């Protein structure tokens, strides 16, 4: 069985991520979307919230599951018997960092390969950061995210404004 892991922060999941998820799910028997618990970054959403939003977005894709993980991605992948890590490449600016990550991961765990999917042109400019910036200043983000994520982002900023 070909099992792949798609790791990331997903803070929050965008239509760009969902495009990669749908395409990667078609190529593997099972795809695990893995939300990294990263204390170094200051995410807008908690890990639990990010997992829940992803689960809602992926509910219609039967071979996709969502989990969170801590520590090294390759260790998580090995524990799930995955042999592939999926990453999306948007532009050359992603390349340097991604190739370094892929080579490091391969050195750490030679049995696991990284597979890059080129982002659909439609979403090549899109990032979770852009979604958050746009929402912070009241812009319409419905083009970039699904309705459940749009509602969650709006609610989060409304909450933050109260504190």
Pick between residue 68 and residue 161 the one whose CB is nearest to ligand ADP. 68
90 is catalytic: yes
**How is residue 141 written in tokens?**
């983000």
User: Which residues make up the interface to ligand ADP (CB under 6 A)?
Assistant: 8-10, 14, 16-17, 20, 87-88, 90, 94, 119, 123, 126-128
Q: How far is the CB of 163 from ligand ADP (least distance, A)?
A: 25
- Which among 90, 106, 136, 156 is annotated as catalytic? 90
C-alpha to C-alpha distance for 62 and 126, rounded to whole angstroms: 26
Q: How far is the CB of 14 from ligand ADP (least distance, A)?
A: 6
Q: List alpha helices for 3-162, DSSP H.
A: 15-27, 47-57, 73-79, 92-108, 128-136, 147-162
- Which among 39, 41, 42, 81 is annotated as catalytic? 41
Bridge partner list, 31: 4, 64
28 is catalytic: no
C-alpha to C-alpha distance for 34 and 52, rounded to whole angstroms: 12
Active site amino acids: 17, 41, 90, 128
């Amino acid at each position: 069985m070909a099992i792949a892991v798609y790791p990331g922060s997903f803070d929050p999941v965008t239509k760009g991520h969902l495009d990669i998820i749908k395409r990667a799910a078609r190529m593997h028997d099972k795809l695990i979307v893995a939300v990294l618990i990263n204390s170094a970054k200051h995410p807008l959403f908690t890990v639990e919230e990010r997992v829940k939003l992803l689960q809602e977005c992926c509910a219609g894709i039967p071979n996709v599951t969502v989990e969170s993980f801590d520590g090294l991605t390759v260790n998580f992948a090995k524990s799930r018997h995955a042999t592939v890590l999926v990453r999306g490449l948007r532009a050359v600016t992603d390349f340097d960092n991604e190739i370094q990550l892929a080579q490091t991961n391969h050195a750490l765990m030679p049995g696991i390969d990284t597979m890059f999917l080129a982002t659909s042109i439609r979403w090549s400019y899109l990032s979770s950061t852009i979604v958050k910036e746009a929402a912070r200043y009241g812009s319409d983000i419905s083009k970039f995210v699904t309705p459940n994520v749009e509602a969650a982002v709006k609610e989060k900023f409304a909450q933050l404004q109260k504190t």
